[in-house]
Structure 1
Amino acid sequence: MMSKEEAIAKTESVFNAASDYFDAPALSFWNRFGQKTIDRLSLRSGDRVLDVCCGTGASAIPAAVCVGSTGQVLAIDIAESLLELGRQKSRQQKLENIEFRHGDFENLGLPSESFDAIVCVFGIFFVPDMVAAVRELWRMLRPGGKLAITSWGEKVFEPANQFFWSEIETERPDLYKKFTPWDRISEPTSLKALLEESGATEVEVFAEMGKHELTDPEDWWTMVLGGGLRGTIDRLDPAVRESVRQANLQFLRTNAVHALDVHVLYAIAQK
Structure 2
Amino acid sequence: MSDKAEVIFKTKAVFNAASDYFDAPALSFWGRFGQATIDKLSFQGGESVLDVCCGSGASALPAARAVGTSGSVVGVDLAESLLELGRNKAKQQGLENIEFRCADFENLGFPDESFDAIVCVFGIFFVPDMSAALQELLRMLRPGGKLAITSWGQKVFEPANGEFWSAIQTERPDLYKSFTPWDRISTSAELKALLESSGATQVEVFPESCTHELTAAEDWWTMVLGGGIRGIIDQLKPAVRERIRQGNLEFLRQNQIGSLEVDVLYAIARKAEI
TM-score (normalised: structure 1): 0.98
Tell me the residue number matched to 1:239.
Answer: 239
- In structure 2, distance between residues paired with 1:228 and 1:185: 16
Task: Return the offset for 1:178.
Answer: 6.6
Is contact 2:43-2:66 (8 Å) kept? yes
**Which sections of structure 1, spanning at least 5 residues, go unmatched?**
none
Secondary structure, aligned partner of 2:113: coil
Aligned to 1:50, what secondary structure does the other structure show? Answer: strand
CA distance in 2 between partners of 1:55 and 1:158 (Å): 23
Structure 1 stretches (4+) deviating beyond 3 angstroms?
A: none
Q: Which amino acid aligns with 2:218?
A: E
Q: Which amino acid aligns with 2:118?
A: I
Matches within 5 A, 1:137-148: 137-148=137-148
Q: How does 1:39-54 map to 2 (within 5 A)?
A: 39-54=39-54
Partner of 2:263: 263
Partner of 1:171: 171
Bigger shift: residues 101-110 or 170-179: 170-179
* Distance in 2 (alpha carbons) for counterparts of 1:231 and 1:180: 11
Q: Indicate the residue corresponding to 1:110 in structure 2.
A: 110
Q: 1:9 to 1:178 in 2, by over 3 A?
A: closer
Aligned to 2:208: 208
Q: Which amino acid aligns with 1:202?
A: Q
Letter in structure 2 aligned against 1:16 = N
State the secondary structure of the residue aligned to 2:50.
Answer: strand
Deviations 1:170-228 (A, max 9, x none): 11111111772111111000000000010000000000000000010000000000001
Change (3 A) 1:2 1:182: farther
Provide TM-score, normalisation by structure 2.
Answer: 0.97
1:19 aligned residue:
19
Q: Which residue does the alignment assign to 2:75?
A: 75
1:88-237 aligned at under 5 Å gives the runs 88-177=88-177, 180-237=180-237
The residue type equivalent to 2:175 in the other structure is L
State percent identity of aligned pairs.
73
Which deviates more from structure 2 when the two are superposed, residues 182-191 or residues 118-127?
A: 182-191
- What SS does structure 2 have at the residue aligned with 1:263? strand
**How far is the alpha carbon of 1:70 from its aligned partner?**
1.0
Instruction: Name the stretch that deviates more: 171-180 or 94-103.
Output: 171-180
Task: Supply the distance in 2 between the matched residues of 1:143 and 1:128 (Cα, whole angstroms).
Answer: 26
Residue in 2 that maps onto 1:3: 3
Q: How far off its partner does 1:155 sit?
A: 0.3
Displacement of 1:44: 2.0
Aligned AA (1:237): K
Aligned to 2:65: 65
SS at match of 1:227: coil
Q: 1:179 to 1:86 in 2, by over 3 A?
A: closer
State how far apart, in whole Å, the 1-side matches of 2:237 and 2:2 are: 24
Q: Over aligned residue pairs, what C-alpha RMSD do you find? A: 1.1
Report the AA paired with residue 20 of structure 1.
Answer: D
2:37–2:59 Cα contact (<8 Å) kept: yes
Q: 2 CA distance for matches of 1:240 and 1:62?
A: 39
* Distance across 1 between alignment mates of 2:50 and 2:158: 32
Give me the whole-angstrom Cα distance separating, in 1, the residues matched to 2:81 and 2:171: 30
Structure 1 residue 2: Cα displacement: 5.9
Q: In the alignment, residue 130 of structure 2 is paired with which amino acid?
A: M
Aligned-partner SS, 1:23: coil
